[in-house]
């Protein structure tokens, strides 16, 4: 049983809660293989998706998760909403709350925006990514994909390469994977590696080889051009040459190692096209796990609301 109204990050989510979400998501993942994707677990509940940044995977999977489980689902198009007239996040939240909704999945460019919203609404708030802070459902889906492949997370080596500094995915994965007993190695240009990441439990590798050697999972992270103001690395082609994951580097990992990427991917920059499309790639499975995780979360939060609110 989750012990929370909202899911804002994995830093403050316990290992037991993470395992409960993954166990429930595992069942949802099996259910998704069936022909009929209609259940009534969330019948009579309402989910709003409120995305202040672009998204394909996260927003669509929240919407489908709600629909598959029988909830009413509405997407707020921020570009055409009253946000454009200057409405504050709290006022938007209170307006939605007044419509007696149950869940808000939010993505926002400012770190902490989902927390601020959660403190001001009765609905359960799920963080779909806030600035450079956290992206908890992405890390949960990454962990589900890894756990389904290897049957465990404890004792695995996960290498994360790319733009660590701007990555909420890297931070949520670090928190979640460490709680479940994995070792997390990170590698990026020095300018894209936050100074305090080691204090949070990451091993900072000195080379791609050190990060990837003996790894069970190798995750490339997108270079976030929209959060950079230039000068952090010379060019995309040089980034690819010196920091990208190439086919020969994967040979250093365990023989059954998997390739992961949260998407959207800059093909040929973070990972070669042959790794993205190759036999080791779990990138499409990550997307299916994302739907499963979001279905699981909505179910578990609905149970919490039923008992506690």
- CB closer to ligand CP, 134 vs 183: 134
DSSP-derived letter for residue 204 is: E
CB of 134: closest distance to ligand CP in angstroms?
Answer: 12
Residue 282 CA to residue 149 CA, distance in Å, equals 9
CB of 107: closest distance to ligand CP in angstroms?
Answer: 7
Q: Which of 264, 273, 274, 277 binds ligand CP (CB under 6 A)?
A: 264
Q: Which of 49, 58, 127, 133 binds ligand CP (CB under 6 A)?
A: 58
75 near ligand CP, judged by CB under 6 A:
no
Among the listed ranges 42-50, 151-159, 259-267, 292-300, the one in contact with ligand CP (CB under 6 A) is: 259-267
Residue 155 region by backbone torsions, left for phi larger than 0, else alpha for psi between -120 and 50, else beta: left
Residue 207 CA to residue 187 CA, distance in Å, equals 7
Q: Which of 298, 300, 261 is nearest to 63 (CA)?
A: 298
Q: ∠ at Cα 43 (95, 126), nearest 5°?
A: 50
240 near ligand CP, judged by CB under 6 A:
no
Residue 299 CA to residue 309 CA, distance in Å, equals 15
Q: Which of 15, 19, 55, 120 binds ligand CP (CB under 6 A)?
A: 55
**Please, which of residues 115-134 interact with ligand CP by CB under 6 A?**
129
Q: Which of 192, 220, 262, 283 binds ligand CP (CB under 6 A)?
A: 262
Q: Which of 70, 112, 263, 268 binds ligand CP (CB under 6 A)?
A: 263
Helix (H, G, I), strand (E, B) or coil at 214: coil
Whole-angstrom CA distances from 131 to 107, 169, 199, 231 are 8, 10, 21, 20
- CB closer to ligand CP, 105 vs 249: 105
56 near ligand CP, judged by CB under 6 A:
yes
Contacts with ligand CP, residue ranges (CB under 6 A):
55-58, 129, 138, 262-264
């Amino acid at each position: 049983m989750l012990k929370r109204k909202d899911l804002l990050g994995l830093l403050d989510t316990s290992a037991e809660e993470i395992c409960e979400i993954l166990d429930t998501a595992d069942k949802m993942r099996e259910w998704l293989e069936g022909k009929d994707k209609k259940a009534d677990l969330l019948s009579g509940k309402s989910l709003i998706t409120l995305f202040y940044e672009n998204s394909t995977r996260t927003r669509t999977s929240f919407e489908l998760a709600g629909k598959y489980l029988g909830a009413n689902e509405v997407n707020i198009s921020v570009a055409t909403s009253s946000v454009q007239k200057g409405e504050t996040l709290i006022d938007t939240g209170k307006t939605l709350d007044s419509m007696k909704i149950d869940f808000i999945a939010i993505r926002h460019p400012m770190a902490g925006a989902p927390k601020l919203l959660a403190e001001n609404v009765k609905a359960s708030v799920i963080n779909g990514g806030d600035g450079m802070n956290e992206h908890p459902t992405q890390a949960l889906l990454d962990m589900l994909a890894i756990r389904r492949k290897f049957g465990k997370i404890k004792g695995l080596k996960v290498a994360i390469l790319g733009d660590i500094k701007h990555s909420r995915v890297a931070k949520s994965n670090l928190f979640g994977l460490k709680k479940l007993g994995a070792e997390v190695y990170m590698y990026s240009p020095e300018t894209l590696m936050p100074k305090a990441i080691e204090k949070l439990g990451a091993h900072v590798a000195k080379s791609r080889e050190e990060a990837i050697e003996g790894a069970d999972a190798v995750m490339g992270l997108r270079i976030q051009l929209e959060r950079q103001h230039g000068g952090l690395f010379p060019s995309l082609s040089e980034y690819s040459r010196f920091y990208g994951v190439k086919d020969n580097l994967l040979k250093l990992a365990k023989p059954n190692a998997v390739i992961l990427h949260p998407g959207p991917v800059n093909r040929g920059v973070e990972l070669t096209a042959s790794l993205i499309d190759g036999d080791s790639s779990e990138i499409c499975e990550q997307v299916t796990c994302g739907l499963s995780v979001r279905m699981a979360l909505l179910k578990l939060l609905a149970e919490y609301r039923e008992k506690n609110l």
